[in-house]
Chains A and B, each alone.
Chain A
Amino acid sequence: MTSPPTARLGALRPALQWLAGWWQIIHLGAVLGVLALSASGRRQAWGSGLAGQVYRASGPMLAGFTIATAVLSLVVIRIVIVTAQSYGLSQYALEMVVRVLVLELIPLAAALFGAVNATLPMADELATLRRRGQFDALRQRGLDPLATLVLPRLLAGLFAVLLLAALSCAVTLVLAYLSAHGFSLGGFERYTRTVGRVFSPPVTLIFCAKVFLLGSAVAWIPLVTVLQNPAGRRSRASAELQGLVRLFVVVLAIEAAALVGNYY
């Protein structure tokens, strides 16, 4: 067996490790996807506390996140409308608000908020359970830890991002209407038309795909990264950090792809 030159191996090793890490993540993600789509996987997940995970992932932070995005949206809406009016372009203000907030900012904020408040703590929890040997114990009892421990958290994380994004988008649309037209139904037709113009079929498709992919990435990458490293190793903290970095890379890629799809 001829070993490659040391310098060459040294240059290739990080790249190979990086590729192997991504491959493991994709592989585990695919396994979890298959489990989520299979009836037995869903049954095991529901039986092992999916409802609890769903509530814990989204319930406690729902009100806080909605209020935070409402305040942020109000500020942005106000800035955009006042600026547009000062330039005499107020007819484009609402369209811009809808595009900037509903299409771009709120899904991203929901994804990051869901990651920080739901899936990263879940990943920590999973790491603790794994370190305690719960995975092996479950396997000994004939249960799949991926279906019973990981899948409920994954679905809960996805659900949390979708719910946060949907609720915040609805609240922002209402706030934008109230900021532009006040408490009157007179501008509803025109506003609806503006929203309809923004949400053309391709844009709507890209928006739905983006929210779903962001939710999936937020739920999947931190959890899977924790499972990737051998249990009990001292590199737990670095694994979580690694997960966060990977999550940001994927979120950035999804955002970029959505922007390309929408505006090119």
Chain B
Amino acid sequence: MPPPDALPPPGPMPEADLPAVPHLQAKATGLLVLLAVLVAAAIGYLLYARGAFEPTQRLVLVADDAEGVTVGMDLTFSGFPIGRVQHIELSPEGNARILIDVPKKDAGWLRTSSIFTLVRGVVGNTNLRAYSGQLSDPPLPDNAERKVLAGDAMAELPQMLAAVRELVQRTSALAAPDGALAGSLANLQAATDQLKGPRGALGVLMGNEADAKKLLTTLDRTNALLLRADALAASLDRLAGKTDTQVFGAQGLLPETRATVLQLNALLGDARATLTRVDGVLAEAQGIASNTRAATTDMGTLRTEVEASLRKVQQLVDEVNRKWPFARDAEVKLP
């Protein structure tokens, strides 16, 4: 129990037994200000770090699967973060829509031809990356919606394993002792042996000795044929030389032919003159013919007159015959 003389001192601060601190108010105020400054600086820094002071534009990436994508994740371009995932939602078509805020100062790296990929690594988190091949293309507009290409190392792994397994199986089948590769190698060995043999490559190609011999014989004959062909060509050359002399030489066929043609021309001129004369004869013959035609006309008239005279003579004879009763028995028969 406290002794009765230990009652509180008159002031409102009963902790008078504590040592007095010089400039207490100032120090306490300093501490309060320090805390206020720290908190204000922290708030300002965090707002800056979250990009609250930067004007941004919205980019919407559409992915089949948003697994691994988290809000706050970076969109990187050449390894530099240029955007931040703000929201992930499911579209009415069942796709994941990843809404990304890109600061205006970094939006210049994104072009209308930019490609976006979503890569899930085997170790580590998922990465959203942008690639711009043509930086001269027009910049990406605000609220642009782009399809994101997914590249998933883990998703490819089972398919790859299956493909590798099939490949190994086929290789094993190929390399088996009774497989195609072993057979081919054995054949190759046999062929190499044949190559090294007396018949060499020809034996490998022909398969048997008879055919190889035939080929050799054919080659020999071809050689002989070629020799004869050479001789023939030489004689042809000679013939050509002679022909040249005979045809085109000074005493050749061609000059004589030319003389003959000249003579023929002269003959033709004579023939032409003869024909002219024949033309004159023909014209005269034509005149004779005309005269003959006129004479013929006169002869028609003459004939008519002769016929008339003959008819008269006939009538006269008939008259005489009628009048002459002895000549025959004239009988008039009435119809």
Q: In whole angstroms, how far apart are the Cα atoms of A131 and B1 in the complex? A: 7
Contact of A129 among B14, B50, B81 (CB under 8 A): B14
B24 / chain A contacts, CB cutoff of 8 Å: 51-52, 55
Nearest 9 Cβ contacts at the A-B interface: A196-B49, A51-B28, A132-B2, A166-B38, A137-B8, A55-B28, A49-B13, A54-B28, A192-B49
A92 / chain B contacts, CB cutoff of 8 Å: 124
Contacts A170-B38, A193-B81 given; does A138 touch B49 at CB 8 Å: no
A200 / chain B contacts, CB cutoff of 8 Å: 50, 71-72
A193-B34 in contact (CB<8A): no
Q: In whole angstroms, how far apart are the Cα atoms of A59 and B84 in the complex? A: 41
| Listed stretches B39-47, B298-306, B320-328; interface member | B39-47
A255, chain B: closest CB distance, angstroms: 21
B21-A56 in contact (CB<8A): yes
A59 / chain B contacts, CB cutoff of 8 Å: 27-28, 31
Q: In whole angstroms, how far apart are the Cα atoms of A143 and B14 in the complex? A: 12
Interface residues of B in 1-59 (CB under 8 A from A): 1-2, 6-8, 12-15, 18, 21, 24-25, 27-29, 31-32, 34-35, 38-39, 41-42, 45-46, 48-51
B27-A89 in contact (CB<8A): no
Interface residues on A, range: 35 or more
B42-A166 in contact (CB<8A): yes
**1/0 per position for A35-63, CB-CB distance to B under 8 A?**
00000000000011111101110110010
A199-B12 in contact (CB<8A): no
B13 / chain A contacts, CB cutoff of 8 Å: 48-49, 52
Nearest B residue to A192 by beta-carbon distance? B49
Nearest B residue to A199 by beta-carbon distance? B46
Nearest A residue to B7 by beta-carbon distance? A137
Nearest A residue to B71 by beta-carbon distance? A200
Interface residues of B in 96-116 (CB under 8 A from A): none
B21-A47 in contact (CB<8A): no
A53, chain B: closest CB distance, angstroms: 8
* Chain A CB within 10 Å, residue with most, of B2, B29, B39, B123: B2
Interface residues of B in 170-227 (CB under 8 A from A): none
Q: In whole angstroms, how far apart are the Cα atoms of A22 and B303 in the complex? A: 182
Contacts A55-B21, A137-B8, A170-B41 given; does A149 touch B32 at CB 8 Å: no
How many A-B pairs with Cβ below 8 Å? 102
A166-B35 in contact (CB<8A): yes
A174, chain B: closest CB distance, angstroms: 11
Q: In whole angstroms, how far apart are the Cα atoms of A143 and B8 in the complex? A: 12
Contact of B31 among A54, A195, A201 (CB under 8 A): A54
A134 / chain B contacts, CB cutoff of 8 Å: 8, 14
Contacts A163-B35, A167-B34, A167-B38 given; does A195 touch B18 at CB 8 Å: no
A138 / chain B contacts, CB cutoff of 8 Å: 8, 14
B48-A192 in contact (CB<8A): yes
B38-A193 in contact (CB<8A): no
Q: In whole angstroms, how far apart are the Cα atoms of A51 and B31 in the complex? A: 10
B81 / chain A contacts, CB cutoff of 8 Å: 190, 193
User: Would you call A230 an interface residue if the criterion is a C-beta within 8 Å of the partner chain's C-beta atoms?
Assistant: no
Contact of A132 among B6, B48, B72 (CB under 8 A): B6
B35-A159 in contact (CB<8A): yes
User: Would you call A261 an interface residue if the criterion is a C-beta within 8 Å of the partner chain's C-beta atoms?
Assistant: no
User: Would you call A133 an interface residue if the criterion is a C-beta within 8 Å of the partner chain's C-beta atoms?
Assistant: yes
* Chain B CB within 10 Å, residue with most, of A52, A59, A92, A125: A52
Contacts A132-B2, A170-B42 given; does A52 touch B28 at CB 8 Å: yes
| 11 more A-B residue pairs beyond the given contacts A52-B18, A129-B14, with a C-beta to C-beta distance below 8 A | A55-B28, A59-B27, A125-B15, A159-B32, A166-B38, A166-B39, A167-B38, A192-B48, A195-B46, A199-B49, A199-B50
Q: In whole angstroms, how far apart are the Cα atoms of A137 and B125 in the complex? A: 65
